[in-house]
């Protein structure tokens, strides 16, 4: 549903079917809408059968990387004698992304159910939901849902009478973007500074508290009950373009569009039609100039590129960007790309965890140069320096925050260089002409 607007006919509401419906928030409300049927059924199956079902569905991680969820779960080896953990990444901080927030606000039990199924499937008795510090309302909704689920015996030592223990802890972050990086998130849960860890070891080998851990995005886990209820084949059938990109995905649309909000689309939907028809295009009298399709960390697209792109993992890669988190940021022709890039760089400079030299210094340096250019004090050499700094910041650090800062700089300069050049004073040129 195009929450907060009425659903658009071309949407396919699965996760968002109950957005805007306050009655869906409570346990009884959720049960009357089909809730916890999937969990009850799952607890009667073997964990392996659930993993196979999710594998067969083709569900891919909705946090940004798009790694197949079932395969990720299958990395958790049963019977290895170690405690397993499930972490739900609800630290949604990617600029332009606000889909998990709505899942937690309107259907917190969908998440709790998905978390419980996921924990059971990977052999974990303990799961953590790590919620971004600023998400006060979602935190309250999820905490209430967890409390209700414990009171009803859905969670706890004997989850739904199955004899299996499933404990869910809600952990509130302190508002650091980097804590959405999976290993930083684990450090944060452990009470340490939220610094990303070097991989390997990967979380499935040594994650939370050094034990095998799976970490999934809110949207991925919330989709699991639907897959188990309606079947992998149904989920597989939700595809429009590429058989590797199936199911529905929430797209958070913000910026210069007529109807910003969350839209649930079947993957493979044409991006051009989405922008012009579903979200209503640019405000009246304006024209879309650029689009960031998957949260601020992915390269931006020009209008033409965006109009021809396809909304799935492969389609966005073909367009030179990534599907990412599905945070669609739209800029119309009233916006300045250099100012927008400078604003994004400032965000990354503020949020860098300060471990890696390239990121700590590079994000801040990039920001200072961009802000100087925006203040009309840039030079042409600055533009080359920016690209070289971006190159030095890409692919060389522990996590991808550094790359994420470089991406909009590079794509902005590649695609809108004239806007940057327009901000550079022409004084030197004028002097040269006059002397001639």
Partner 1 sequence: MTTPPMVSLTIEGRPVAVPAGTSILEAAKQVGVLIPHYCYHPALPVAGVCRMCLVEVEKAPKLAPACATAVAEGQVVHVHTDATHKAREGVLEFLLINHPLDCPICDQAGECELQDYTFQEGRATSRYEEPKRFNPMEDFGGDVLYVPNRCILCTRCVRFMDDVAQDPVLNVSERGDRALIGKAPDHDLTHPWAANVVDLCPVGALLSKDFLNKARAWELDRTASVCPNCSQGCNTIVETRDNVVVRLRPRANEAVNQHFLCDAGRADYRWMNRTDRIVHPLIKVGAEHREAGWEVAMATLASAVRTRPVHVVASAHSSNETLFLLRALIAIAGGRGVFTVRSEGVEEPLPGVPDLARRTERAPNARGAELLGFTRTADPLREVQDGDVVLVVDDALEGIDLAPLARADAVVFAGTVIAPALAQRAVIAIPLTNVVEEEGTFTNLRGRVQRYLQAKTPPALARPGWFVFAELLRRLGAPTPGFVPADIFQALAAQVPPFEGLSYDQLGLQGALVRAEVGV
Please report, as ranges, the residues that interact with partner 1 according to CB under 8 A. 176, 178, 193, 198, 349-358, 360-365, 368-369, 372, 381, 385, 391-393, 395-398
Shortest Å, Cβ 388 to partner 1 = 8
Of 169 and 350, nearer to partner 1 (C-beta) is 350
**Backbone CA torsion sign across 196, 176, 354, 407:** positive
Neighbours of 165 (CB within 10 A): 15
Residue 214 pairs in a beta bridge with 86
- How far is 120 from 122, CA to CA, in rounded Å? 6
The radius of gyration of the chain's CA atoms, rounded to the nearest angstrom, is 23
Contacts of 246 (CB under 8 A, 6+ apart): 57, 58, 59, 235, 236, 237, 238, 239, 267
Shortest Å, Cβ 348 to partner 1 = 8
Of 221 and 364, nearer to partner 1 (C-beta) is 364
Shortest Å, Cβ 315 to partner 1 = 23
Of 162 and 379, nearer to partner 1 (C-beta) is 379
Shortest Å, Cβ 400 to partner 1 = 11
Of 129 and 400, nearer to partner 1 (C-beta) is 400
Shortest Å, Cβ 106 to partner 1 = 33
Question: What is the biggest distance separating any 2 CA atoms in the chain, rounded to whole angstroms?
Answer: 90
Mapping DSSP to helix (H, G, I), strand (E, B) and coil, where does residue 51 land? helix
Of 5 and 372, nearer to partner 1 (C-beta) is 372
Shortest Å, Cβ 200 to partner 1 = 9
How far are the Cα atoms of 151, 322, 326 from residue 313, in angstroms, in the given order? 40, 7, 10
**Residue labelled with tokens 């499935």:** 204
Backbone angles phi, psi at 143, to 5 degrees: -60, -40
Contact 334, 286 (CB under 8 A): yes
Of 203 and 247, nearer to partner 1 (C-beta) is 203
Of 177 and 331, nearer to partner 1 (C-beta) is 177
Q: Which candidate, 215, 291, 213, 214, places its Cα nearest to that of 255? A: 291
């Amino acid at each position: 549903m195009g929450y907060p607007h009425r659903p658009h006919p071309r949407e396919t509401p699965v996760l968002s079917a109950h957005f805007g419906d306050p009655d869906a928030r409570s346990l009884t409300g959720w049960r009357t809408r089909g809730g916890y049927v999937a969990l009850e059924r799952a607890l009667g199956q073997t964990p392996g059968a659930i993993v196979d079902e999710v594998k067969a569905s083709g569900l891919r991680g909705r946090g940004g990387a798009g790694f197949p969820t079932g395969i990720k779960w299958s990395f958790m080896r049963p019977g290895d004698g170690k405690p397993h953990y499930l972490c739900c990444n609800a630290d949604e901080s990617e600029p332009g992304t606000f889909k998990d927030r709505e899942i937690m606000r309107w259907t917190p039990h969908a998440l709790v159910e998905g978390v419980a199924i996921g924990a059971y499937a990977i052999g974990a008795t303990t799961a953590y939901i790590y919620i971004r510090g600023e998400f006060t309302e979602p935190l309250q909704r999820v905490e209430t849902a967890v409390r209700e689920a414990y009171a009803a015996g859905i969670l706890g030592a004997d989850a739904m009478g199955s004899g299996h223990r499933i404990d869910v802890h809600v952990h509130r972050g302190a508002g650091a973007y980097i804590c959405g990086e999976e290993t930083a998130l684990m450090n944060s849960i452990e009470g340490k500074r939220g610094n990303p860890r070097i991989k390997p070891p990967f979380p499935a080998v040594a994650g939370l508290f050094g034990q095998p851990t799976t970490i999934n995005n809110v949207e991925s886990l919330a989709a699991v009950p639907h897959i188990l209820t309606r079947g992998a084949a149904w989920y597989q059938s939700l595809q429009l373009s590429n058989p590797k990109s199936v199911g529905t995905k929430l797209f958070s649309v913000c910026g210069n569009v007529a109807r910003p909000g969350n839209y649930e689309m079947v993957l493979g939907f044409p991006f051009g039609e989405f922008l012009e028809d579903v979200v209503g295009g640019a405000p009246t009298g304006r024209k879309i100039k650029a689009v960031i399709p998957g949260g601020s960390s992915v390269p931006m697209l020009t209008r033409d590129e965006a109009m021809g792109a396809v909304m799935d993992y492969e389609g966005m890669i073909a367009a030179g960007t990534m599907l990412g988190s599905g945070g669609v940021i739209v800029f119309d022709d009233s916006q300045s790309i250099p100012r927008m890039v400078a604003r994004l760089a400032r965000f990354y400079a503020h949020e860098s965890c300060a471990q890696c030299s390239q990121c700590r210094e590079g994000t801040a340096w990039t920001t200072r140069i961009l802000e100087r250019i925006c203040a009309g004090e840039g030079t042409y050499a600055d533009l080359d320096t920016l690209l070289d700094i971006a190159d030095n910041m890409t692919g060389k650090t522990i996590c991808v925050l550094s790359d994420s800062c470089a991406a909009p700089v590079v794509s902005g300069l590649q695609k809108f260089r004239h806007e940057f050049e327009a901000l550079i004073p022409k004084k030197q040129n004028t002097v040269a002409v006059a002397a001639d």
